[in-house]
Amino acid sequence: MTKLSVNINKIATLRNARGHNNPDIVQAAINIERFGADGITVHPRPDERHIRYQDVYDLKKVITTEFNIEGNPAEDKFVELVLANQPTQVTLVPDALGQLTSNHGWNTVEHAGYLKNIIAVFKKEGIRVSIFVDPIVEMIEAAKATGTDRIELYTESFATEFAEGRHEQGIEAYIAAAKKAQELELGMNAGHDLDLHNLPYFSKQIPGLLEVSIGHALICDALYLGLENAVQLYKRALKNDEPHFFK
């Protein structure tokens, strides 16, 4: 069964808008786990515009499922944060400074040496490593040589094609990437723009999918459906149970 890790960045964005502690992201994480999520994801950025570095320390104390910290390892502060908190998984993302949201995966051919060295730093501490990649077979093959435990497929292009009704066209590259990952015995995660509409189709088509990380869409749905209901509906979607509550 594919695990659901809920990215709580957007909850932190709402909190930061007023400068106090409402909503309380620590309590939100506790509740999200209680509602059935298999993990919590955070993606702290240098400007701390959503998740703050202190949040990571606070969350580490209470999370009882899997804790996934995403970010760019080129930032020394990020590396130090991960090593200090020992999450279940670190997901390495090639974000530029000030980038609004992640929009591309690693070039695992060009950056093979760098990735191999930084991945070794985390694995030495017993932290599972995943790297963000585009659904390109060549990049999957090169990822294997870096020593990473998993890859995370960047799913924006699939989501875009799906929204335009081009389901088969949108999923084709992901199926090929997934088959290559399985062939190479690489674990596989996925994330970005997955939602209740496209997730059942994606999870059904992709063999060996271990985890999806979903934040923006789930939190938006929670505004209408409630947080507990949203988490449970996303869990159902991963079982290929199509939700029919809205179009």
Residues designated as active site:
43, 70, 192
Q: What is the 3-state secondary structure (H, E, C) of the chain?
A: CCEEEEECHHHHHHHHCCCCCCCCHHHHHHHHHHCCCCEEEECCCCCCCCCCHHHHHHHHCCCCCEEEEEECCCCHHHHHHHHHHCCCEEEECCCCCCCCCCCCCCCCCCCHHHHHHHHHHHHHCCCEEEEEECCCHHHHHHHHCCCCCEEEEECHHHHHHHHCCCHHHHHHHHHHHHHHHHHCCCEEEEECCCCCCCHHHHHHHCCCEEEEEECHHHHHHHHHHCHHHHHHHHHHHHCCCCCCCCC
Tell me the backbone φ, ψ of residue 131, rounded to 5 degrees. Answer: -125, 140
- Cα first-last separation, the chain: 26
Please tell me the distance from the alpha carbon of residue 1 to that of residue 163, in angstroms, as a whole number.
Answer: 25
Say how many C-beta atoms besides its own lie within 10 A of residue 102's C-beta: 21
